[in-house]
Amino acid sequence: MANTYTQIHIHFVFAVKFRHGIIQSKWKEDLYKYMTGIIQNDNHKLFAINGMPDHIHILIGLRPVQSISDLMKNVKQSSSKWINKNKLTNGHFEWQEGYGAFSYSKSEIGQVVNYIQNQELHHKKKTFREEYLDFLEKFEVDYDDTFIFKELI
């Protein structure tokens, strides 16, 4: 739409169903490239993507032509289909329902990119659940613990 100017930066966090650590290092870069293509095809700007075997972090510049929920639905559905089509896991792959979406100002982008790029270092000190709860508390998001990603057993 003409004369529409925005600056919306969103950090997404979502997990593999049941938090199984099945994203393997031998194909995770291809997964990230595939997800990047989805995001860019929807006219959003990707700043960073990285994760761990059980979850993903993505930072984008969101264009207001698509809702956050529609974008996440597209990213998660399409990437699940891609993983299953290419038989990258034993059995059927799915993402866990839901996601976190946290907004940042332009001045914070470098810090968030650095955080996403250094996931392996962060998770030497903190579990995914601890990390996720920290985000919810930092952004003052009300939540029901029943629906928070559980620790792996």
pLDDT at 132: 85
pLDDT at 93: 96
Q: For residue 95, what is the DSSP state?
A: B
**Tens of pLDDT, residue by residue, the chain (153 residues):** 678 888 999 999 999 998 888 999 999 999 999 999 999 999 999 999 999 999 999 999 999 999 999 999 999 999 999 999 999 999 999 999 999 999 999 999 999 999 999 998 888 888 888 888 888 888 888 887 776 766 555
Q: Are strands 9-15 and 45-52 parallel, antiparallel or unpaired?
A: unpaired
DSSP 12-36: EEEEBGGG-----HHHHHHHHHHHH
For the whole prediction, is pTM greater than 0.85? yes
Domain 9-147 = CATH 3.20.20.70: no
